[in-house]
Structure 1
Amino acid sequence: MNTSSPTVKNGDLLIAEPFMGDTNFDRSVVLICEHNAVGTFGLVLNQMTDVHLGDVIEDIHTDLPLFVGGPVQQNTLHFIHRRPDLIDSSICIVDGLYWSGDFEQIKQAVNLGTLTERDVRFFIGYSGWDEGQLDGELRQKAWIISRTQADFLFDTPTTEFWREVLKRKGGEYKSIAHYPVDPRLN
């Protein structure tokens, strides 16, 4: 019996198994920004809040939405983008997708309108796993792994993201995408 878990890499998407049972991650898709020997850092891509960036950052004048990046340190702000030409010190996650960077440049680009929600997403909090924790969840089949592409990430409606990621995987995953939230109501 093979008890090893699939390998996770930066840029992978963790798709919550439909009946995971963790309310923090119901039907969530988590982008892995950093995975190494000491742990994993990710951002939930499809949990939008009713709060906007301009509500939490005083000198930003925008209605860009904030997403819940995960249950850890929800007093922190993180961002991903696809405009390294506008933002110095960005960290490449996968081709065309970047994490973090010079926040002063972000604020300026957002206020000028040169950086829009088609190119950037902001998160409060993050998803984190200590060494070995994510491997254990993968062995329990709590997550389905897929790769991401920047265009798909930014161009797919948030409300359909979980389903669309599964549909793109095809095969058995395509049918999982249609599972009802509560099978008792089916």
Structure 2
Amino acid sequence: MLKPKKGRLLISEPSMEDSNFFRSVILLAVHNKNESVGFVLNQPTKVKVHHLIEDFPKSSFPIYIGGPVERNSLHYVHTLGEKIEGSQEILDGLYWGGDFQLVKKMVENNEVDSSNIRFFAGYSGWDEAQLLKEIRENTWITVPADKESCMKLSSNKELWSSFIKKMDAKYAIWTNLPADPFLN
């Protein structure tokens, strides 16, 4: 099993009781001895960025729920690299944050689309050894990430299932488990 690190994905076990992370796929943007920070890639909302940010250009960019921490904060993950000053590289070709005024200008000028930027309300966060403990308890499985998979627009179940199917065959049964096994 891979250890967590910046640029890897966390795949939740299928019966996670915490609804914030039910069948979720999380991109780790930070992982060090003090903290871990990530964004849930498969919890889109019907809310658009311009509905939340008053001076954001009208656009079709949906907001994703990044996690339960600071849901009033806006984050973005993108493939625009050096085009957005202040961006932090998460993995090869995938970045977090940067100059928000420049992002707004790029949206206004139609220089970006949903294939190269995603917006998140809040984030997922863990203190010190909390994430490692949860991984030892089999709450999460750590897998490699690539920018294409992270930027793919997909629903909760589709993205989660697609990663499970790529994993070891012993996890294949997970995709067939009901949301609530006690109703089976």
TM-score of the alignment, normalized to the shorter chain, above 0.5: yes
Computed over aligned residues only, the root mean square deviation of the Cα atoms, in angstroms, reads 1.6
Q: CA–CA distance in 1 between the matches of 2:14 and 2:70?
A: 25
Q: Supply the AA of the counterpart residue of 1:172.
A: K
Q: CA–CA distance in 2 between the matches of 1:89 and 1:29?
A: 26
Q: CA–CA distance in 1 between the matches of 2:150 and 2:19?
A: 23
Q: Are positions 1:19 and 2:19 aligned together?
A: no
Q: CA–CA distance in 2 between the matches of 1:156 and 1:168?
A: 18
User: Paired residue for 2:52?
Assistant: 56
- Once the two structures are superposed, the pairs formed by residues 113-152 of structure 1 within 5 Å of their partners are 113-152=110-149
Is the Cα–Cα contact under 8 Å of residues 86 and 109 in structure 1 kept in the other structure?
A: no
User: Paired residue for 1:98?
Assistant: 95
TM-score by length of 2: 0.92
Q: CA–CA distance in 2 between the matches of 1:185 and 1:59?
A: 47
Give the one of 145, 154, 157 matched to 1:157. Answer: 154
TM-score by length of 1: 0.92
Is the Cα–Cα contact under 8 Å of residues 118 and 155 in structure 1 kept in the other structure?
A: yes
How has the CA–CA distance of structure 1 residues 97 and 110 changed in structure 2, closer, same or farther, with 3 Å as cutoff?
A: same
Structure 1 position 23, deviation (Å):
1.2
Show CA shifts across 1:6-34 (max 9, x none).
Answer: 52110111111001211111111111000
Structure 1 gap segments, 5+ residues each: none
Q: Supply the AA of the counterpart residue of 1:13.
A: L
Amino-acid identity (%) = 41
Q: CA–CA distance in 2 between the matches of 1:62 and 1:110?
A: 8
Structure 1 position 86, deviation (Å):
2.5
Q: CA–CA distance in 2 between the matches of 1:147 and 1:6?
A: 8
Q: Supply the AA of the counterpart residue of 2:170.
A: E
Show CA shifts across 1:22-56 (max 9, x none).
Answer: 11111111110000111101111111112110101
Structure 2 gap segments, 5+ residues each: none
Q: CA–CA distance in 2 between the matches of 1:118 and 1:184?
A: 38
SS of corresponding position for 1:177 = helix
Show CA shifts across 1:107-142 (max 9, x none).
Answer: 111111111111110000110000111111111110
